[in-house]
C-alpha cells in the first residue's frame, strides 16, 4: 500500500494541489473546512495563539507558521512580513524568552517573503527575513526557515548562511529525501546550527530525491546520526514510529541527553504520541499553522500519509 501510495496517489495529490480550479472548489466546501480544522486551528493570529496557549499548558513547545508561499509581488511579501512582525510582538508578550531553548518559535517560507520575484527576489527575501529575525531576537522568539521544493534549496541555504552571521540561533529545515541532504547535514552540524530534519513533502524527481519509503527512512536516520554527532541542535521532525523508536539510541551514541535535541510534530497529528514523549521528559515542539491559504498545506498533509487521505475520505462520506 505504501509503495502504491508513493508511486501513484501521492503525485496525483501534489498535482491537484497546483490545480487552481480545484483549490477554489475545495475551499468552498464545508467538509474541507471541517477536515482542515484538524490540521489548522484557524485563519487569524488569535486562533493560532489560542492553540499556542493550550500546547504550552501541556508542556509542549510551539512553532507558528503563517500559511502562504510563492508570492508574486513585493506587496504580497510586505504583507507577510507585517503579519510575522505582529505575531512575533504578541508571542514576545508571553514572556517566555531568555537563554537556552526557546519555547516559542515562528517558521517562515522564503518564497512568502519574495524569494521567487523576478527582480531581486533573493535580496528582497533576505532583507525581509532579516527584519523578522531582528524582531524575533528582541522578543526572545526563535525563527526557523522552512524548506520548499528542491529548486529553492541553494538559494534558501545561501540566505540562511548569511543570516546566521547576525542570528546564530536561526534554524533551517533539511529534507532527508533529497540526495544532497547528507552533505548539507554535515555542513550545518559542523557549524553548530539548529536543524529541523524532516522527510520531505514535495513531489520531487528521482534524479534529486529518494522515492521509496525505506530509502527515505534510511536516509533520514543517516542524516540524523550526522546531526546528533555534530555541535548543533537537532530537531527530529517525524511522525514515523520507526524513526521515533530509533532516536534514543542515536542520541545516546552521540552523548546527547533529552535537553540536547527535540522532537517535532504537526498540529493535529499523533497528539497522543506528542503527549507521551513530552510526559517522558523529552522536548516536543508542535508546528502550528494559521492563515487563509489552507489548501496547499492541507494537500501536502494528505500526500505525506495514507492515513490522512483516509481521514478526509471518511469525512466526505459522512457529509
d(CA 159, CA 153): 10
65 catalytic residue (yes or no)? no
> Which residue reads 518564497 in cell numbers?
111
Contact present, 27 and 295 (Cβ < 8 Å):
yes
Among candidate residues 167, 3, 223, the one with its CA nearest the CA of residue 11: 3
Query: Closest Cα to residue 237, out of 270, 203, 205?
Result: 270
| Nearest CA among 65, 30, 59 for reference residue 47 | 65
C-alpha span between 260 and 131 (Å, rounded): 28
Active-site hit among 10, 60, 102, 146: 146
Q: What is the dihedral of CA 275, 279, 280, 284, to 10 degrees?
A: 50
Q: CB neighbours of 54 closer than 8 A, spacing ≥ 6?
A: none
Q: Per the residue annotation, which of 196, 285, 300, 301 is the catalytic one?
A: 196
Cα angle 283, 221, 253; round to 5: 65
Give residue for cell 508578550.
93
CA dihedral 127, 129, 131, 137 (to 10 degrees): -140
Please indicate whether residue 256 is annotated as part of the active site.
no
For residue 174, the surrounding DSSP H or E stretch is strand 171-175
CA dist., res. 192 & res. 233, Å (int): 7
Beta-carbon count within 10 A of 87 CB: 23
Determine the Cα–Cα distance for residues 151 and 188; give it in Å rounded to an integer.
19
List active site positions. 146, 196
Amino acid at each position: 500500500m505504501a509503495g502504491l501510495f508513493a508511486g501513484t496517489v501521492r503525485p496525483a495529490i501534489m498535482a491537484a494541489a497546483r490545480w487552481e480550479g480545484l483549490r477554489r472548489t475545495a475551499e468552498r466546501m464545508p467538509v474541507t473546512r471541517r477536515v482542515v480544522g484538524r490540521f489548522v486551528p484557524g485563519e487569524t493570529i488569535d486562533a493560532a495563539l489560542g492553540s499556542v496557549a493550550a500546547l504550552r499548558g501541556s508542556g509542549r513547545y510551539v512553532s507558528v507558521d503563517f500559511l502562504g508561499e510563492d508570492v508574486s509581488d513585493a506587496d504580497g511579501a510586505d504583507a507577510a512580513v507585517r503579519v510575522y512582525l505582529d505575531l512575533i510582538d504578541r508571542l514576545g508578550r508571553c514572556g517566555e524568552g531568555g537563554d537556552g531553548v526557546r519555547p516559542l518559535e515562528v517558521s517562515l517560507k522564503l518564497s512568502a517573503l519574495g524569494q521567487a520575484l523576478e527582480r531581486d527576489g533573493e535580496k528582497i527575501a533576505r532583507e525581509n527575513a532579516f527584519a523578522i529575525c531582528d524582531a524575533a531576537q528582541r522578543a526572545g522568539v526563535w525563527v526557523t526557515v522552512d524548506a520548499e521544493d528542491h529548486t529553492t534549496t541553494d538559494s534558501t541555504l545561501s540566505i540562511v548562511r548569511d543570516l546566521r552571521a547576525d542570528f546564530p540561533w536561526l534554524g533551517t529545515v533539511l529534507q532527508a529525501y533529497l540526495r544532497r541532504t547528507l552533505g548539507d547535514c554535515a555542513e550545518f552540524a559542523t557549524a553548530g546550527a539548529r536543524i529541523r530534519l524532516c522527510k520531505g513533502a514535495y513531489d520531487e524527481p528521482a534524479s534529486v530525491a529518494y522515492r521509496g519509503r525505506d530509502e527515505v527512512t534510511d536516509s533520514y536516520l543517516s542524516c540524523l546520526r550526522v546531526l546528533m554527532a555534530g555541535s548543533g541542535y537537532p530537531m527530529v521532525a517525524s511522525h514515523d514510529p520507526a524513526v521515533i523508536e530509533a532516536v534514543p539510541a542515536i542520541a545516546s551514541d552521540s552523548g546527547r541527553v533529552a535537553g540536547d535535541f527535540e522532537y517535532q510534530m504537526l498540529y493535529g497529528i499523533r497528539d497522543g504520541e506528542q503527549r507521551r514523549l513530552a510526559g517522558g521528559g523529552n522536548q516536543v515542539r508542535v508546528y502550528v499553522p494559521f492563515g487563509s491559504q489552507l489548501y496547499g498545506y492541507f494537500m501536502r498533509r494528505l500526500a505525506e500519509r495514507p492515513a490522512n487521505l483516509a481521514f478526509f475520505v471518511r469525512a466526505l462520506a459522512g457529509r
